[in-house]
């Protein structure tokens, strides 16, 4: 996703301890990738947490991260 001449990508990851899934937001800076934010879903209490590791992220990128997290992180109801 390119916004304001900055390139971002999303990555789904999981942690077994604690039992959670994450949607990470990475910024591409030349040949480097830097994680700038993430949303975590904790299976135990079914909560979601947003963490930003950098300031001044474009609003539309954060908005897309939250929207994708709502769709991809919680478990599918049977």
The pLDDT assigned to 78 comes to: 42
Residue 75 predicted with pLDDT over 90: no
Residue 77 predicted with pLDDT over 60: no
DSSP-derived 3-state class of residue 66? helix
The pLDDT assigned to 63 comes to: 97
Structure token digits, residue 8:
């971002």
Distance (Å, rounded) from C-alpha 26 to C-alpha 10? 6
Query: Per residue in 19-53, pLDDT tens?
Result: 889 999 999 999 999 999 999 999 888 899 999 99
Backbone angles phi, psi at 25, to 5 degrees: -110, 120
Cβ distance 33 to 27 under 8 Å?
A: yes
What is the Cα gyration radius of the chain? Answer: 13
Task: Report the residue count for the chain.
Answer: 78
The pLDDT assigned to 31 comes to: 95
What share of the chain has pLDDT > 90, as a percent?
72
Distance (Å, rounded) from C-alpha 12 to C-alpha 31? 21
């Amino acid at each position: 996703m390119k916004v304001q001449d900055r390139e971002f990508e999303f990555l789904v990851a999981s942690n077994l301890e604690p039992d959670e899934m994450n949607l990470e937001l990475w910024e591409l800076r030349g040949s480097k990738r830097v994680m700038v934010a993430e949303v975590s879903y904790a299976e135990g209490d079914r909560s979601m947490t947003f963490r930003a590791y950098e300031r001044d992220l474009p609003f539309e990128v954060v908005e897309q991260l939250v929207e994708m997290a709502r769709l991809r992180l919680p478990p599918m109801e049977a």
